[in-house]
Amino acid sequence: MFDPNRCLKQVSGLGRPVCLSVLLLSMTVIAKAEDPPNIIIVYADDLGFGDLSCYNSKAPYKTPRLDQMADEGIRFTDAHSPSTICSPSRYGLFSGQQIYRSTGRGGGAFEGPGGPSYLKPGTLTIAQMLKEQGYRTGVFGKWHVGLSWFDKDGKRLGGGFKNSLLIDYEKSTPLIDGPNARGFDESFVTPNCPNTDPLYVYIENGMVAVPASERHDPKSLPNPGGKWRWDNDAGWMSPGYDFMNADLLFYDKTEAFIREHRTKTPDKPFFAVLSTQIAHAPVLPAEEFNGATEAGPRGDFVWELDVLVGRVLDLVKELGIDDQTLVMFNSDNGAETLHVNWMRQDHQHDPSDGWRGMKRDAWEGGHRVPFIARWPGQIPPKQVSTQMTNTTDIFATVASAVGVSLPDEAATDSFDMLPVMLGQQDESNSVRPHLLTQSFRGEFQIRQGPWKYLDHKGSGGNNYEVKNMQPWALPEKAPDAPGQLYNLDDDPGETNNLYFKEEAKRKEMQELLSKLKSSGRSAPTNRKPFRKPIKARQ
């Protein structure tokens, strides 16, 4: 009998004897590596750069599962959200583009039946791109890129809270610009912030099972710490809408999607987005997480997020697809203003981790966010990268992992970070020659190496003259300057505006910004995947 563990056989083309069992094992590993990976994105909400213990060793709580994810993969320290507010950043995640590609300017956050979608017809989404490669796609949680709702006369409704009762659900559903019309096979989402902005309904595969017909009273919900219920707006809700367990529900829907997919079509890859509401206001951790930390309700809330990420990691291991799954974690902008104030005052915790600013601000605290990626066997562990990157880059990175050459007209602000993740990019060689972000009002900021130019005065978002913001206001050293220029290597706190002192550099940055805006793209053309094209499992 042939014993492959003892017999060496000359294999044609290799030119040397090899153990056949080793050869077969090697071929299996190579084939497995060339399969398109499953892809999971966990997208957090209003989570600051310093809100995870793997980023901030001084945090008054630990985030062990996210720390584990970072230890087993790569953690980026110069990662940014496309915008300093949620809806435009979510557009960036799904489209690989800055919001002005859709609106010609900035973009606000939707409330009530606000829309239509920022994701216009003809815009290639990351879900559509993967679906074309044979993936089954799903999104679960906060959607918040706008939806079209109609009244009984077929008239499109505007945003705000009062129009919620005017929705004609028969005319409005299935939604013409919901997730299922933008590349997702399965979806269970809320139109806006799940616990903040009515309308409070759940939408499953473009349909609303229970219309909003009851008036929600914020006082009906717990108020941990006497203040953390702040920003739970009164408005119209579906009877039985669950505020306290929203993220547990979103996780359960994500898990069910993955399990069902693995049961029915285990040979096909999947793409799942778990879009949490943590740590957006109001702070409403599920009951089982109350008191989990010594950092108050928001610490408990972040702990809940960490537990859910751990459940995702445990799930792919249980299903035996750990090595076949690329998991990414990211946030849509910095931490909310009052959250930053209260955490600093009550728990000596800085969600911005020393960076100036917070949600809505164009300074670093408004858009520098955690970004972690894990893919066992592909992404080497224990990597910490200083590469400059943006949430928009997830699109081109995923395309590269799947072996797709993106058309030039798609994902026009997306750079491929896969070589960095795989440990095959010299840290001194920046993938990005520049990086664009937009603040709350849609104003632009641009990075080039350590240089950062803000094409506006002030924060770009928050008013630092109001009482609760005054403690964090800094004196302006060039108050007459119409813009701001900082060298983050020398001045990470963005305190010394060099607008006049470094005139040549400022003009160079202004010209670069003007060029990128007028060219219609900031990403390179003719992008080729870092991994060779791979055939989707059918």
Neighbouring CB atoms inside 10 A of 40's CB total 24
Whether 285 maps to a domain, the answer reads yes
pTM, entire model: 0.92
CA dist., res. 313 & res. 66, Å (int): 10
Rounded (10°) CA dihedral 294, 467, 368, 82: 130
Number of domains comprising the chain? 1
The answer to whether 214 and 239 have CB atoms below 8 angstroms apart is yes
Indicate whether 8 pLDDT > 80: no
- What is the pLDDT, as a whole number, of residue 154? 96
Indicate whether 28 pLDDT > 50: no
CA dist., res. 485 & res. 498, Å (int): 5
CA dist., res. 441 & res. 102, Å (int): 15
Of 369, 362, 285, 317, nearest in space to 45 by CA: 369
- What is the pLDDT, as a whole number, of residue 223? 86
Mean pLDDT (the chain) is 92
Q: List pLDDT tens digits, range 144-173.
A: 999 999 999 999 999 878 899 999 999 999
Whether 334 maps to a domain, the answer reads yes
Structure tokens at 43: 């997208």
Confidence of residue 20 (pLDDT cuts 50, 70, 90): very low
- What is the pLDDT, as a whole number, of residue 534? 54
Residue with the larger pLDDT of the pair 207 and 519: 207
Q: List pLDDT tens digits, range 350-388.
A: 999 999 999 999 999 999 999 999 999 999 999 999 999
- What is the pLDDT, as a whole number, of residue 533? 58
Whether 97 maps to a domain, the answer reads yes
Of 186, 219, 190, nearest in space to 205 by CA: 186
- What is the pLDDT, as a whole number, of residue 11? 33
Indicate whether 128 pLDDT > 80: yes
- What is the pLDDT, as a whole number, of residue 307? 98
- What is the pLDDT, as a whole number, of residue 18? 37
The answer to whether 367 and 116 have CB atoms below 8 angstroms apart is no
Neighbouring CB atoms inside 10 A of 265's CB total 14
- What is the pLDDT, as a whole number, of residue 159? 86
Please give the distance of CA 26 from its chain centroid, rounded to a whole number.
36
Which residues, listed in sequence order, are joined to residue 271 by a DSSP beta bridge? 39, 137
Burial label for 225, CB within 10 Å (0-12, 13-18, 19+), is: middle
Instruction: Name the packing angle between helices 64-71 and 296-318 (round to 10°).
Output: 50
Whether 491 maps to a domain, the answer reads no
CA dist., res. 322 & res. 68, Å (int): 14
Q: List pLDDT tens digits, range 54-73.
A: 999 999 999 999 999 999 99
**Domain of residue 72, CATH code:** 3.40.720.10
Paired sense of beta strands 186-190 and 136-142, if any: parallel
Whether 247 maps to a domain, the answer reads yes
- What is the pLDDT, as a whole number, of residue 162? 84
Whether 250 maps to a domain, the answer reads yes
Of 367, 371, 375, 392, nearest in space to 488 by CA: 367
Sequence letter at residue 367 = H
- What is the pLDDT, as a whole number, of residue 423? 96
Neighbouring CB atoms inside 10 A of 155's CB total 12
Least confident of 2-16, 87-101, 204-218, 235-249: 2-16
Please give the distance of CA 107 from its chain centroid, rounded to a whole number.
17
Whether 13 maps to a domain, the answer reads no
Give the up-direction half-sphere exposure of residue 393: CA atoms within 13 A in the CB hemisphere.
29
Q: List pLDDT tens digits, range 300-317.
A: 999 999 999 999 999 999
Whether 472 maps to a domain, the answer reads no
Query: What is the radius of gyration, based on Cα positions, of the chain?
Result: 24
Of 276, 280, 232, nearest in space to 250 by CA: 276
CA dist., res. 378 & res. 35, Å (int): 12
Residue ranges making up the domain that contains 271: 36-433
User: What is the three-class DSSP state of 323?
Assistant: helix
CA dist., res. 183 & res. 185, Å (int): 7
The answer to whether 299 and 347 have CB atoms below 8 angstroms apart is yes
